[in-house]
Structure 1
Amino acid sequence: MQNPKATKILLWVLAFLCLGQALYIFASRDGQPDPDRIVSVTRVGKSGAIYEVLYDAGGATVPHVYRYFVMDFQTNDEAALQKSKNAAPFLVTNSAGAVRKVVGHSVKLHTQNKIYEFRNTAYFKVDGQLNEVTFDLDAVF
Structure 2
Amino acid sequence: MLNPKVFKWFFGALLLVCVGVVFSLISGPSMPVPVRVISVTPLEDGVAVYEVLYDPGGATVPFVYQYFLLRQQENSEAVLEEVKLSEPFLVTTSSGVVRDFSEGNLNLKVKGAVYKFKSVGEYSSNGKIKSIRFVLDNY
Q: Distance in 2 between matches of 1:121 and 1:28?
A: 36
Structure 2 stretches lacking a partner, 5+ long: none
Distance 1:72 1:105, change over 3 A: farther
Q: Which residue of 1 aligns with 2:87?
A: 88
Residue type of the partner of 2:119?
Answer: N
Aligned-partner residue type, residue 105 of structure 2:
S
Shift of 1:105: 3.4
* Structure 1, gaps ≥5 residues long: none
- Report the AA paired with residue 103 of structure 1: S
Percent identity, aligned pairs only, is: 34
1:25 is paired with a residue whose SS is helix
1:107 CA displacement: 0.9
1:60-139 alignment to 2 at 5 Å? 60-125=59-124, 130-139=129-138
Q: How many residues align?
A: 139
Residue aligning to 1:34:
33
Q: Secondary structure at the match of 1:41?
A: strand
Q: State the Cα distance separating 1:60 from its structure 2 match.
A: 3.2
After superposing the two structures, state which structure 1 stretch, 37-46 or 11-20, moved more: 11-20
Distance 1:25 1:134, change over 3 A: farther
The alignment's TM-score, normalised by the length of structure 1, stands at 0.77
Query: Which whole-Å CA distance do the structure 1 matches of 2:132 and 2:14 have between them?
Result: 50
Q: TM-score, normalised by structure 2?
A: 0.78
Q: Provide the rounded CA distance (Å) in 2 between the counterparts of 1:13 and 1:40.
A: 55
Q: Give the conservation status (yes or no) of the 8 Å contact 1:36–1:53.
A: yes
Task: State how far apart, in whole Å, the 2-side matches of 1:104 and 1:117 are.
Answer: 24
Cα 1:12–1:117, aligned 2, differ >3 Å: closer, same or farther?
farther
Q: Structure 1 56/47 Cα, relative in aligned 2: closer, same or farther at 3 Å?
A: same
